[in-house]
A and B are shown apart, each in its own frame.
Chain A
Amino acid sequence: MNKKNKKLALTGGAAAAEALKQIEIDVMPIYPITPQTTIIETYAGFEANGEVDTEIIKVESEHSAMSAAIGASAAGVRTATATSSQGLALMHEVLYIASGFRLPIMILVSARALASPINIHGDHSDVMGCRDSGWIQLFCENGQEVYDKTIIGMKLAEKVKLPIMVIMDGFNTSHSVENLEILETKVVQEFVGEFEAVSPLLDTENPVTYGAVALQNSYFEFRIDQEEAMKNAEEEYEKIAKDFEKISGRKYDIFEEYPASSAGKKTEDVEKIMVLTGSAAGTAKVVVDKLREAGEKVGILKINLFRPFPHQEIAESLKNAKEIIVLDRAQSIGTYPPFYSEIINSLYGNGRDAKFCVSTGREIKSYIYGLGGRDIFQKQIEDVFMGKIKSKYIQ
């Protein structure tokens, strides 16, 4: 550890705010919603103490928060906001406009259940609801990851000119205090670099029009461009994460294999792999350690980058697993849950991008857990590994 790095006890929300402070956000439209408020309150505290130069706009809704973020980003400055649940749902319309404009806006999402019934606690329903909106989605397991991935994410978004959501579990991560390592501000700033706007509105000498009407003869091509940019984000993520490892010593591949060999690759003997993300991955790691000690050949694949989804690499990673268990913290009512669908997409067929036809009649199990903040315990994860839970819900 660099001696100039600090150790701080912070909540996940405060860790996000700390990273945003170091990155130097120019404009931050904010609107409160639980459990995201730890982020904006911490940041407002920085403003009150003169620690940041950010123009904070205290808007009247999340829709306006994203709308103002789009205005600011198009104007030519580094822009971020934070939200949860209904707030993200309210932004939904304008999320597509941000990505269509190719604006590198960041949202820190403290992921929470959606109404109805209303529930303020953590699950992934809100972020899954906008998985097709053209935003990069990066999941975090704990507060350290929130801090680190906010820094990685900002650089990635600005590199590929796409907006990004850095996602933490509402309450589980956003409100849990952990001891974190905070990098030197200078190092963070050098890493992320200066913001470079593509077509800033404030360059009045070179006027541009944002938000044109594109009809049948041109709309299609713009959408293809967006998809190409998103595809490119995977490779860029890997490069940026590698560079981040150099300054921090912390490694974030597009997904994490656990337990990992010293080379960072999956331990060869793993037969049963559990796919999941977020704070539950931390719990599952403890279970894996315990089961492996008892001789069970179990392991974890933790999703970091969810959009773009790294189908090919995941297929490769799961190639030799005898059993795959997918845990989702969201439903996709009327079809399979989101992670499960993606894993199936990765493994079957040889069309499009899925180059690996590895359908071998293996069991690929799907479970939903943790809706509305329901805790998941080590015992339950152990039971899932051991095939003791027959329902598709881990209640």
Chain B
Amino acid sequence: MNKELTKYYSAGHSACAGCGFPAIVRAVLGELKTDVVIANATGCLEVTSTLYPYSAWKAPYIHNAFENAAATISGVERAYEALKKKGKISKNKKIKFVAFGGDGGTYDIGLQSLSGALERGHNFLYVCYDNGGYMNTGNQRSSATPYGAFTETTPTGKESFGKIETRKNLMEIVNAHRIGYLAQSNVAYLADLKKKAKKALETDGPSFLLVFSPCTNNWKFPTSQYVNVGKLATETNFWPLYEIENGEHKLSFEPKKITPVTEFLKTQGRFKHLFKEENKPHLEEIQKLVNEEFARIANLCE
């Protein structure tokens, strides 16, 4: 096994073969310059890394519940300050606090906890690995599930083309807290992710990363494909890469030629139904949504 990559998060975890999030965790933690304490919301990452008696975590780690990773890390971070004040921890001992959550634990059930922790200004990085739904419980829709996607709670049928709502814009919500650094990245772009993780970890106070994390099992693509699927998400502008540093928007990647979003959608079984003749308007709608959102972000980045 690769020693450097398993410094904090080891092999032997039971994430699905070809899962996207392990590379995110390693890329982010690989940029640490200090000690770390990790909090994790309930979800795929947590379940697959802490199955008793084995923990894949070589750094201090706490999983509390589904909706409270941000509140939990708030408590850990304040405890660190309390011990420093008492002289029980040396002032020179730097610890960074990092929370991981999926989109269910972040966009939905954990949003209040995240908002509270961002507003209070704790010194922590929150990383949301976004696989567009409740994948750990077997593929139910979340507010991060894209328009038109099949999930077990937005099944397709005579009266249904999948999810009817568009995704919640979490970046906008987090940005409304006016934190120092937040960025949208993608596991398929590891160099981009590492660069952003470094900035986020160096931020004094809260920082946030929203990372695209393809799910082989429930998006229904072969186990070998997560990088290709991820690449297409960004090349089609479905998942633009950008950052907001001290309020300044900056685009991290602009495709030289824009690939139609259908190229991304057709790689996954969850969008298969959209390619039926009767669903053509929905495909057009998705392209329109992608164009509008990209234009909005690009405009902010000018």
Consider the complex of A and B and state whether they touch directly, i.e. have CB atoms less than 8 Å apart. Answer: yes
List residues of A whose CB falls within 8 A of some B CB.
26-27, 29, 53-55, 57-61, 63-65, 67-77, 79, 93-94, 97, 201-204, 207-215, 218
Chain B residue at minimal CB-CB distance from A209: B55
What is the bound-complex CA distance between A57 and B62, given in angstroms? 19
Chain A residue at minimal CB-CB distance from B82: A26
- Chain A residues whose CB sits within 8 angstroms of the CB of B71 once the complex forms: 29, 59, 63-65, 67-68, 71
- Chain B residues whose CB sits within 8 angstroms of the CB of A77 once the complex forms: 79, 82-83
Shortest CB distance A55–B (Å): 4
What is the bound-complex CA distance between A311 and B59, given in angstroms? 44
> Which residues B109-167 have CB closer than 8 A to chain A?
112-113, 115-116, 119-120
Whether A55 pairs with B51 at a CB distance below 8 angstroms is no
- Interface presence of B283 (CB below 8 A): no
Interface 0/1 of B40-53, CB less than 8 Å to A: 10000011001111
Whether B52 pairs with A27 at a CB distance below 8 angstroms is no
Shortest CB distance B254–A (Å): 38
A212-B51, A213-B51 are contacts. A202–B112 as well, Cβ < 8 Å? Answer: no
- Chain A residues whose CB sits within 8 angstroms of the CB of B55 once the complex forms: 209, 212
From the candidates B60, B67, B73, B82, name the one contacting A27 in the complex (CB within 8 A): B82
- Most B CB contacts (10 A, CB to CB) among A60, A71, A204 go to A71
Shortest beta-carbon contacts, A-B, top 9: A71-B75, A211-B63, A60-B116, A75-B79, A68-B75, A67-B68, A72-B75, A64-B71, A67-B71
What is the bound-complex CA distance between A77 and B63, given in angstroms? 18
From the candidates A60, A93, A209, name the one contacting B65 in the complex (CB within 8 A): A93
Stretch at the interface among B31-39, B198-206, B229-237, B245-253: B31-39
Chain B residue at minimal CB-CB distance from A214: B52
- Interface presence of B184 (CB below 8 A): no
User: Can you list 22 A-B pairs with a CB-CB distance of less than 8 A?
Assistant: A26-B86, A53-B86, A55-B79, A55-B82, A58-B120, A59-B116, A60-B116, A68-B78, A71-B76, A71-B79, A72-B75, A72-B78, A72-B82, A76-B83, A79-B75, A97-B64, A202-B60, A202-B89, A203-B60, A204-B59, A204-B60, A212-B52
- Chain B residues whose CB sits within 8 angstroms of the CB of A204 once the complex forms: 35-37, 59-60, 95
What is the bound-complex CA distance between A73 and B35, given in angstroms? 19
A27-B75, A55-B81 are contacts. A210–B62 as well, Cβ < 8 Å? Answer: yes
- Most A CB contacts (10 A, CB to CB) among B37, B53, B60 go to B60
Which range contains the number of B residues in contact with the other chain? 35 or more
- Chain A residues whose CB sits within 8 angstroms of the CB of B47 once the complex forms: 213
- Interface presence of B221 (CB below 8 A): no
What is the bound-complex CA distance between A65 and B112, given in angstroms? 12
Whether B83 pairs with A213 at a CB distance below 8 angstroms is no
Shortest CB distance A107–B (Å): 14
Whether B61 pairs with A54 at a CB distance below 8 angstroms is no
- Interface presence of B80 (CB below 8 A): yes
What is the bound-complex CA distance between A26 and B75, given in angstroms? 11
- Interface presence of B177 (CB below 8 A): no
What is the bound-complex CA distance between A218 and B39, given in angstroms? 23
From the candidates B72, B112, B119, name the one contacting A71 in the complex (CB within 8 A): B72
What is the bound-complex CA distance between A8 and B198, given in angstroms? 54
- Chain B residues whose CB sits within 8 angstroms of the CB of A67 once the complex forms: 64-65, 68, 71-72, 75, 113
Chain B residue at minimal CB-CB distance from A70: B64
What is the bound-complex CA distance between A215 and B51, given in angstroms? 8
- Chain A residues whose CB sits within 8 angstroms of the CB of B62 once the complex forms: 70-71, 74, 201, 209-211
- Interface presence of B175 (CB below 8 A): no
- Chain A residues whose CB sits within 8 angstroms of the CB of B220 once the complex forms: none
- Chain B residues whose CB sits within 8 angstroms of the CB of A214 once the complex forms: 52
A61-B116, A71-B39, A207-B58 are contacts. A27–B68 as well, Cβ < 8 Å? Answer: no
Shortest CB distance A201–B (Å): 4
- Interface presence of B213 (CB below 8 A): no
What is the bound-complex CA distance between A94 and B82, given in angstroms? 23
Shortest CB distance B43–A (Å): 12
Whether A207 pairs with B57 at a CB distance below 8 angstroms is yes
Whether A202 pairs with B57 at a CB distance below 8 angstroms is no
A58-B120, A202-B37, A212-B52 are contacts. A72–B64 as well, Cβ < 8 Å? Answer: no
Shortest CB distance B89–A (Å): 7
From the candidates B37, B50, B64, name the one contacting A94 in the complex (CB within 8 A): B64
From the candidates B35, B67, B74, name the one contacting A68 in the complex (CB within 8 A): B74
